[in-house]
């Protein structure tokens, strides 16, 4: 073999070796962006899993597209589970109701970040007590001696708020023939429509969703402070990078949404009614009214957790 051929083969070998070494240390394409860190977003189980996915997955997709993070939905099995996920750090950001926020913050150091707006641009929603159209039940007092379906025990609009008004009206739990806590708001609506219970309590969005299917509203509460997006103060820097930057990225992405702008309105059209009208900042004091309701119910012997007895 000639010296020229040997030199040529050596150059080819070295070129291949360099390419191999480089390809093992950098992406195949210099244009490929680095993978975004994954953030698990915890959600209380307001509805059945399929409905939760339909209503909240668009929010995850939007945050993934507009922030330096990739968001994945982490749906809690129940309201107790969401507290556990926050406690052990499985999720560092979550959507909670007023009551679950109050319970969670007694166990985890939380920052209330944002709350959604309703169609009128207000950060509130309502609890609705429903019955079938053919039932001769037209007021809270008519519920005496009747069966009743609540949502989860820690549900704000599906349990604590309706209980508060039932006691204020002099009905209370003792005035019902029987009652049961179902897991989801849409389950309450369906069971009431089936006749399994004479009446039930649900979040406003579900009440209107099922209204044309044969429901009648017998009571609508005063405005309740909206659901709240919270972040753990001790969130892992490995997940978020700079914690303050993460908070600002989420706030900026959501507060900048304006349903009065056609492009934003079109973007949020497929989102759930609970989150499809924009967001505003949340404060801990927003939930003082919920705390007063919880205190009142405790005085009546109704407790959120077994260890309160």
Q: Residues 133-142: what's their mean pLDDT?
A: 96
User: Over 70: is that where the pLDDT of 32 sits?
Assistant: no
Predicted pLDDT of residue 31: 46
Q: Is the pTM of this model over 0.75?
A: yes
Predicted pLDDT of residue 200: 98
**Which of the given ranges, 2-11, 34-43, 217-226, has the highest pLDDT on average?**
217-226
Domains of the chain: 38-123+226-293 (3.40.190.10), 127-222 (3.40.190.10)
Per-residue pLDDT tens for 160-199? 999 999 999 999 999 999 999 999 999 999 999 999 999 9
Q: Residues 37-51: what's their mean pLDDT?
A: 94
Q: Residues 153-165: what's their mean pLDDT?
A: 97
Per-residue pLDDT tens for 63-120? 999 999 999 999 999 999 999 999 999 999 999 999 999 999 999 999 999 999 999 9
Q: Residues 48-65: what's their mean pLDDT?
A: 96
* DSSP collapsed to 3 states, the chain: CCHHHHHHHHHHHHHHHHHHHHHCCCCCCCCCCCCCCEEEEEECCCCCHHHHHHHHHHHHHHHHHHCCCEEEEEECCCHHHHHHHHHCCCCCEEEECHHHHHHHHCCCCEEEEEEECCCCCCCEECEEEEEECCCCCCCHHHHCCCEEEECCCCCHHHHHHHHHHHHHCCCCHHHCCEEEECCCHHHHHHHHHHCCCCEEEEEHHHHHHHHCCCEEEEEECCCEECCEEEEECCCCHHHHCCHHHHHHHHHHHHHCCCCCCHHHHHHHCCCCCCCCCCEEECCHHHHHHHHHHHHHHHHCCCCCCHHHC
pLDDT band, very low/low/confident/very high, at 234 (cuts 50, 70, 90): confident
């Amino acid at each position: 073999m000639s010296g020229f051929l040997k030199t040529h083969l050596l150059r080819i070998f070295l070129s291949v070796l360099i390419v191999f070494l480089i390809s093992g240390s950098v992406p195949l394409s210099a244009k490929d962006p680095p993978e975004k860190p994954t953030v698990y977003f915890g959600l209380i189980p307001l509805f059945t899993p399929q409905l939760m996915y339909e209503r909240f997955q668009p929010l995850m997709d939007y945050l993934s597209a507009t922030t330096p993070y990739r968001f994945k939905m982490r749906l809690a099995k129940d309201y107790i589970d969401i507290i556990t996920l926050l406690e052990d750090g499985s999720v560092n950001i979550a959507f909670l109701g007023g009551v679950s926020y109050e319970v969670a913050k007694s166990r985890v150091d939380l920052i209330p970040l944002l709350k959604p707006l309703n169609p009128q641009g207000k950060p509130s929603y309502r609890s609705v007590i429903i019955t079938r159209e053919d039932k001769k039940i037209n007021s809270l007092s008519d519920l005496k001696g009747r069966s009743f379906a609540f949502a989860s025990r820690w549900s704000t609009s599906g349990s604590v708020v309706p209980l508060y008004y039932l006691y204020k009206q002099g009905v209370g739990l003792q005035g019902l023939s029987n009652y049961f806590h179902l897991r989801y708001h849409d389950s309450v609506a369906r069971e009431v429509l089936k006749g399994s219970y004479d009446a039930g309590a649900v979040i406003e969005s579900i009440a209107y969703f099922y209204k044309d299917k044969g429901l009648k509203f017998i009571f609508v509460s005063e405005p309740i402070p909206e659901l709240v997006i919270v972040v753990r103060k001790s969130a892992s820097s490995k997940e978020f990078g700079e914690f303050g930057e993460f908070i600002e990225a989420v706030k900026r992405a959501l507060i900048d949404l304006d349903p009065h702008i056609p492009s934003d309105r079109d973007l949020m059209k497929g989102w759930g009614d609970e989150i499809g009208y924009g967001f505003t900042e949340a404060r801990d004091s927003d939930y003082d009214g919920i705390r007063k309701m919880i205190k009142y119910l405790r005085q009546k012997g109704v407790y959120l957790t077994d260890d309160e007895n």
